[in-house]
Amino acid sequence: MPSVELVTRGARTMTVCNSCRYCEQYCPVFPAIERRRTFEAGDLAYLSNLCHNCGECLYACQYAPPHEFGIDVPRTLAELRLASYEDCCWPRFLARAFRGQGALTALALAAGFTVILFGLTMWSNPAGLAPRGDADFYAVIPHGVMVGIFGAVGGFVLLATAIALNRFRRAIAGADQTPVTIGALIPALRDAVTLRHLHATGSDCVSAEEQRAPWRRWWHHATFGGFILCFASTSVAAAYHSFFGWQAPYSYGSLPVLLGTAGGLGLVVGPIGQWWQQRRRDPSLTDASQTGMDQALMLLLWLTSATGLALLVLRTTSLMAPLLLVHLGVVLALFVTLPYGKFVHGLYRVMALVNDARERDGGGPASIGAR
Ligand code: SF4
Ligand code: SF4
């Protein structure tokens, strides 16, 4: 649960905004505030995940620090977002992982998994580590073993994510169980994919007062697009193997390699850009305690793509086996941290956008009249 102090501060901030309403054109957060009279923990979890931290409302606010009201909507909602991740995660004792992450933790996890994979290979298949020139990944780690390891980890990640999302859905819907319609779902997904509210007023995100640039949006697009293309590459390769019996390695002109290369390039460029852009942003817009979590995801995404691209280029050399094990170690580190790190913000934000579309469609909040 978010602390009583945070809920009280969040509710007070939203109540001031609800009286003021100066920012109601900026993004969906303010109309969603206006549909409420009081702000419980579930309302705050919803509003915080609807916010894209574009920063516009901080510089517009006449009550922002140093005013005695001290209204800082972007930072308050950032703190509430983190609290919602911790509150909904499964199993709950791993909630502390959200704050415990950082670049060093990410590196240690990736190194740990790599050492385990090296140890397992040396123990069970030492011949797999011998230099070879045939790019045969399954001679290093057999296909069944790879599927077993990643199937078990992937299954846990899916289960943990599904439970967390269900908890979040219940928290933000409250008593209102109006079903989501296709008419609400489509605009929500469109807004999520286009990152519409990262430039809510039609211009670009602010990085400081009166400083707008499109970069935050473009780095996000590169990272998200790269992730989706890499996922598509792995899925196509799995279908080739399982349904057609076409074994890896695939040629440089094949669909899995083309998708993986394009995705890998996006994941090399996007995380570096996000890291660079984040360092230049006004600290008033963010919650400094989340920097480690942001950096851990960016580093693991970057390492996944960098080692993947290196493996593609060097797959017919003697470096293939050690590079493959390093790459798989990094991917495992990325996988196990997905439900307990910054990755979840995309999923929660999509659910908040869907809830917003449902409310605008006439679905709630159910208790507005009673509040
Ligand atoms: S952020 Fe400030 S200016 Fe904007 S609605 Fe809230 S109180 Fe008003
Ligand atoms: S930071 Fe941007 S997205 Fe968040 S509440 Fe303010 S205007 Fe809306």
pLDDT digits (tens, 9 = 90+) for 258-274: 999 999 999 999 999 99
> What one-character DSSP code corresponds to residue 322?
H
Q: Is the CB of 58 under 6 A from ligand 1?
A: no
Is the pLDDT confidence value at 368 over 50?
no
Q: Is the CB of 147 under 6 A from ligand 1?
A: no
The mean pLDDT value for 110-126 works out to 96
Contact (Cβ atoms closer than 8 angstroms) between residue 334 and residue 298: no
pLDDT at residue 201, as a whole number: 52
Confidence band of 204 (pLDDT split at 50, 70, 90) = low
Of 14, 19, 21, 22, the one to substitute when testing ligand 1's pocket (max ligand atoms within 8 A of C-beta) is 22
pLDDT at residue 198, as a whole number: 77
Mean pLDDT of the chain: 90
Q: Is the CB of 22 under 6 A from ligand 1?
A: yes
Confidence band of 183 (pLDDT split at 50, 70, 90) = confident
Q: Is the CB of 59 under 6 A from ligand 1?
A: no
Q: Which atom of ligand 2 is nearest to the CA of 27?
A: 8
Residue 306 CA to its chain's centroid (Å): 19
For residue 223, how far is its CA from the centre of ligand 2 (angstroms)?
22
Of 9, 12, 23, the one to substitute when testing ligand 1's pocket (max ligand atoms within 8 A of C-beta) is 23
Confidence band of 175 (pLDDT split at 50, 70, 90) = low
Q: Is the CB of 200 under 6 A from ligand 2?
A: yes
Residues 6+ apart with CB under 8 A from 327: 304, 307, 308, 310, 311
Is the pLDDT confidence value at 366 over 60?
no
Element spanning 206, H or E: strand 206-208
Q: Is the CB of 59 under 6 A from ligand 2?
A: no
pLDDT per position as a tens digit, 211-268: 777 888 889 999 999 999 999 999 999 999 999 999 888 999 999 999 999 999 999 9
How far apart are the C-alpha atoms of 166 and 88, rounded to whole Å?
8
